[in-house]
Structure 1
Amino acid sequence: MSERTGQRRPVTFKLDDPHVVVLERDEAAARPARGSISITPEAEPEPEPVLLPESPDTPPVPARKGFRWGVLFWSSLAGLILLGTVLGAINLIGDLFARSEGLGFLGLTLAALFVVASIVIAAREILGLARLATIENLHRRALAAIAADDRKEADAVVRDLVKLAHNDPHLARARATLRSHSTDIIDGADLVRLAERELMAPLDQEARRLVSVAAQRVSIVTAISPRAVVDVLFVFAAAMRLVRQLARLYGGRPGTLGMIRLMRHVIAHLAITGGIAASDTLIQQMVGQGIAAKLSTRLGEGVLNGLLTARLGLAAIDVTRPMPFTALPRPALGDLVKDLLRKRDGGN
């Protein structure tokens, strides 16, 4: 634009015209030569900072402040118990040697076997927890790779997924298919979906079968058991066994601590997704359709326990599965209800 502040008629010119002069902002006050056209570039406005809104699904986690006295309490208590156990074992072995040399060596051998077994069990628990953490991390990375459509991250996710499933002989063909597509030109999100279709499809089918069998078993046993205590114990044992089977199916081998962690995640998942409410709604639909009216009270309780077990199994699939449901359909509770009622009709 020209340095003149007054209004003037618009003119046309070429940029390579020698009469066109580009002036800086500090030179705009200078008077240009007669017959020339002066242009002063305008300064670009500085961009205003944009505040990104926080996602409603991920509430901010407040940082912990202060000293964690709970950790100190349990650590010191565990240390005292361990010291007391070691001192008690040493005194016991000393008393055995005082009574008889053979008893002393027997006690020393048993103590050595106890220490070795404790180390092996601790190592297995640590490896089980690490494997569960790897599966959870792989699930998050797969979601991030699909959202960002990152091919490099998708390749890393697929490699880790193949490594996780390398011991399963039923997935040998799927692993070979994924290796054959490793050099193809595929987007990151499509590569993750391809890996899910190839590797997770047979596992999802087996997981659905395990959940259906567990729900049917719980339904039958709780329908014929004479005591409510037996029902509770059997349902608890069946739920633990189902979660362990699903974890092993998808690549996790949890120990005792791993099972505790898995059950906590499964119950939290049920609370978040409203699994119990969904089961209640389904039962109300069954009652409204007159299906439950054809069953006796005990059979109705058995069907309800089977449905709750099936819902628990579906939540366990979401927790133990190393990949999210993006390319494959999520198992539905209605399909398992059909299997359960079909089995019930066949049994009657």
Structure 2
Amino acid sequence: MTDERRGPRAFRLDDPRVVVADPGLEAPSPRPRGAVVVTPEPDSAVEGAAAPPPVPRRRSRWGALFWSAAGGLVSLAVGLSVTRLIDDLFSYADWLGWLGAALAALAAVAFLAIALREAAGLMRLARIEGLHDRAVAAIAADDRDLARKLTGDLVALYRADPRTARARAVVESAAREIVDGADLVRVAERELMAPLDAEARRLVADAAKRVSLVTAVSPRALVDILFVAGETLRLVRRLAVLYGGRPGGLGLLRLLRHALGNLAVTGGMAAGDSLLSQALGHGLASRISAKLGEGVLNGILIARLGLAAISATRPLPFAALPQPNVADVAGGLFAKAGNGAEAREQD
């Protein structure tokens, strides 16, 4: 057998002796003597790694029509009731009628202000979701123009945050120098999201510790439920404000629904003795008290919900930075549970 390896050669692509081989053919076609064969590499691996496009969610038109009609009927009913009340007040005394009209006007102004604040909060959340979707598309397509527009919007989003001053300067400089769109998005994530992610992990860890402590010492189940519900809403709102969302009441419920959806998809609601044994160890879980185990379990669930809320409120996907896990935000719970179990064994 002869060694067919050859050294590097220089040639022009428009040379008639250059033949491009088809990688899909098993048997090579006859080629002229002295021809230079160029075999392109298959790009199946690149095509397989491309992320599938997100499936658009279908919304029911009949459902939207129903809620619009029901809301209109309720508004008409409330308006007629207020009108009749003011008419009755005028029938008793003029000053009562004017007082009722003034109170109704104040209520209308306050309702309008609340509605505008809720609309602004929903618009901010839609802006965050749009940035996330555009970042996923820019990374998948390696689109330079889309990445530059995305980084410009990110810099504008955090322009009022003094913690991101240096990071914004780095991102603006990178947008003029980096050519690849995916690399530009990753640079923006490392610079802008790193300090915010650290603060988000601290918030989730503090919430998990508070829930674990309160549920471990509280004597009533109702107290546990109310405290966990309030702490969950508080945590989701603080995470949204941290990442630039600042939601209202409706926006907070929407974020909570998204976080619970992410948690259900990742299997976060699977809780019980098996989850506690996985987190703390089979021997330790059997030795700690039931109340302490319940507190640690609630803390773990709040930590998982907080991680899902981070994914729902973060304007960029986790591409350059590692996604936090339960051990990153609830590691202190395991140590405290272990110390508590050892102390009980010594007693």
> TM-score over 0.5 for the alignment?
yes
Relative to structure 1, is the Cα distance of residues 296 and 71 closer, same or farther in structure 2, using a 3 angstrom cutoff? same
Q: How does 1:1-348 map to 2 (within 5 A)?
A: 68-277=61-270, 282-286=275-279, 288-343=281-336
TM-score, scaled relative to structure 1: 0.77
Structure 1 residue 115 displacement after superposition: 0.8
What is the identity, as a one-letter code, of the residue corresponding to 1:330? Q
Contact persistence 2:201–2:328 (CA under 8 A): no
Deviations 1:214-260 (A, max 9, x none): 00000000001111111111111111111111111111011111112
Looking at structure 1, the residues matched to 272 and 232 of structure 2 have their Cα atoms a distance apart, in angstroms, of 16
Contact persistence 2:135–2:150 (CA under 8 A): yes
Matched residue count: 294
Structure 1 residue 296 displacement after superposition: 1.4
What is the identity, as a one-letter code, of the residue corresponding to 1:332? N
Looking at structure 1, the residues matched to 65 and 291 of structure 2 have their Cα atoms a distance apart, in angstroms, of 50
Runs of 4 or more, structure 1, over 4 Å off, are: 55-65, 278-282, 343-348
Looking at structure 2, the residues matched to 69 and 129 of structure 1 have their Cα atoms a distance apart, in angstroms, of 22
Provide structure 2 residue ranges, at least 5 long, that are not aligned to the other structure.
Answer: 1-46
What is the identity, as a one-letter code, of the residue corresponding to 1:266? A
Contact persistence 1:279–1:311 (CA under 8 A): no
What is the identity, as a one-letter code, of the residue corresponding to 1:328? L
Looking at structure 2, the residues matched to 288 and 345 of structure 1 have their Cα atoms a distance apart, in angstroms, of 10
Deviations 1:102-140 (A, max 9, x none): 222211111111111111111111111111111111111
Contact persistence 1:287–1:293 (CA under 8 A): no
What is the identity, as a one-letter code, of the residue corresponding to 1:148? A
Structure 1 residue 337 displacement after superposition: 3.1
Deviations 1:58-104 (A, max 9, x none): 69679789xx4443333322222211211111121122222222222
C-alpha root-mean-square deviation of aligned residues, in Å? 2.6
Contact persistence 2:300–2:330 (CA under 8 A): yes
Which residue in the other structure is 1:10 paired with?
none
Contact persistence 1:128–1:255 (CA under 8 A): yes
Looking at structure 1, the residues matched to 168 and 81 of structure 2 have their Cα atoms a distance apart, in angstroms, of 53
Relative to structure 1, is the Cα distance of residues 242 and 250 closer, same or farther in structure 2, using a 3 angstrom cutoff? same
Contact persistence 1:310–1:336 (CA under 8 A): yes
Contact persistence 1:279–1:308 (CA under 8 A): no
Looking at structure 2, the residues matched to 56 and 181 of structure 1 have their Cα atoms a distance apart, in angstroms, of 25
Contact persistence 1:212–1:310 (CA under 8 A): yes
What is the identity, as a one-letter code, of the residue corresponding to 2:173? S
Relative to structure 1, is the Cα distance of residues 61 and 200 closer, same or farther in structure 2, using a 3 angstrom cutoff? closer
Looking at structure 2, the residues matched to 138 and 276 of structure 1 have their Cα atoms a distance apart, in angstroms, of 28
Which residue in the other structure is 1:41 paired with?
none
Looking at structure 1, the residues matched to 86 and 64 of structure 2 have their Cα atoms a distance apart, in angstroms, of 33
Looking at structure 1, the residues matched to 273 and 242 of structure 2 have their Cα atoms a distance apart, in angstroms, of 29
Contact persistence 2:208–2:299 (CA under 8 A): yes
Contact persistence 2:202–2:329 (CA under 8 A): no
Contact persistence 1:279–1:307 (CA under 8 A): no
Looking at structure 2, the residues matched to 343 and 262 of structure 1 have their Cα atoms a distance apart, in angstroms, of 31
Contact persistence 1:93–1:108 (CA under 8 A): yes
Relative to structure 1, is the Cα distance of residues 217 and 71 closer, same or farther in structure 2, using a 3 angstrom cutoff? same
Structure 1 residue 345 displacement after superposition: 6.3
Higher-Rg structure is 1
Looking at structure 2, the residues matched to 261 and 314 of structure 1 have their Cα atoms a distance apart, in angstroms, of 16
What percentage of aligned pairs have identical amino acids?
Answer: 57
Looking at structure 2, the residues matched to 216 and 176 of structure 1 have their Cα atoms a distance apart, in angstroms, of 36
